Amino acid sequence: MLTNLQQQPADALLALIKLHNDDPRADKIDLGVGVYRTGQGETPVFGAIKAAEQKLVETQDSKAYLGPEGDMGFVHALMPYIFGKQDPDMGGRIEGMQTPGGTGSLRLALAMAQRAGVTRVIAGKPSWPNHNQICKDLGLDVVEFNHAAADGTVDMDAVRGAIAAAGEGDAILLHGCCHNPTGIDYSHENWDEIADLLGKSPVLPIIDLAYQGLGQGMEEDAYGLRRVLAAVPDALVCYSCDKNFGLYRDRVGALYAMTKVPADLTKIMSNGHALARANWSQPPDHGGAAVRLVLEDEALTAMWLDELDQMRVRMRQVRDKLAAAGVTGGVDLSPIGGQNGLFSIIPFTPEQVQEMRAKHGIYFAGSGRINVAGLTTGNIDQFIAAVADVTA
């Protein structure tokens, strides 16, 4: 029976990791894997997380099941940072549950939306490849609109057109900040307009907030999400702690649902619990518990926010250095300075991507997406020179 299965193509990112690992050159550069790196090229464990984990070792007295909703102390501790400290549950209109990373949250959100009657998902392109992959696996149709204009800014005409064309049975998937893969974010004025348009539309917003704090700051990066939620009756929010707490391998995420009638939340979340039970039963506890302990302790919270600030400052310095190079060979690097988060896309041709690998030992996705955190003071000049060489 199992021989009936068809060979699937290898994951492009995993294949890229292998290519980089197999390259013997000492000066090779990995700009493919989407994790934060320090100026020394390391992906560290946050000091705040280390301290919380030590506390967890000393105080945790059971490994018993938590249930499909996960650690609700973790879920609720995040809410003031996501939705605002003044009214984090918007008058009892928001509830959540823990998920295995942001991917688990997205899978659950899309499956819940499908149960609620959604058949089409409106999504910008390019986007994180797993967005479309999850939709395809669930049998949801994807209707794409251009996220970025030719000049490296947001294509608001395409956004307006996508929302205007959407109707009952549609959801729209939006990146809350630090757009993956382009780094091109909506401005506050853009979000104001998007929120007003969605407030007049029957479309269900699904907001993917996977990089809060890595763009402009924790509060600044939540602006668009909060603006949309203030304008619409219902929404789903997918959250990841993998990046802003450095918990990649521990898979720490949450799904939040907002509805117009608070009494409906019990019914809505029961569907999330049932879907989770049929998929992963319950999420892994360790990472979520560590985040909860950080957020319950003022000193650890301050340590975490300071570490997050340092990450953001370093990535901003890399972006400023790239932007200062301006027109380099045949491409203009200056737009990178106005973008946010881990990623940007440089308009390389497929042949130039291959030449960057073969000639210069610099590895990134075939789309031209680079992880700016892979660049350091020790290799950024090498990267800029390589760009000039292959694009001239």
Angle at the Cα of 207 from the Cα atoms of 202 and 212, rounded to 5 degrees: 155
DSSP state letters, 74-122: HHHHHHHHHH-SSSTTTTTTEEEEEEEHHHHHHHHHHHHHHHTT--EEE
* Backbone φ, ψ for residue 333 (5° rounding): -90, -5
Select which of 77, 109, 171, 210 is catalytic: 210
Look up 290 and say whether it is catalytic.
no
List 208, 221, 242, 285, catalytic entry: 208
**Candidates 51, 113, 123, 243; catalytic one:** 243
Beta-carbon contacts of residue 373 (< 8 Å; ≥ 6 apart): 35, 36, 37, 311, 314, 315, 318, 342
Helices (H), 265-376: 265-279, 286-296, 298-324, 350-360
Q: Is 128 a catalytic residue?
A: yes
- Which candidate in 111, 123, 128, 276 is catalytic? 128
The tokens for 130 are: 């797993």
Helix or strand holding residue 141 (H, E): strand 141-146
Choose among 387, 385, 358: nearest CA to 370.
Answer: 387
Task: Give the integer Cα–Cα distance in Å for 194 and 257.
Answer: 19
Q: Measured between alpha carbons, how far is 288 from 286 in angstroms, rounded to an integer?
A: 6
Catalytic residues: 128, 208, 210, 243
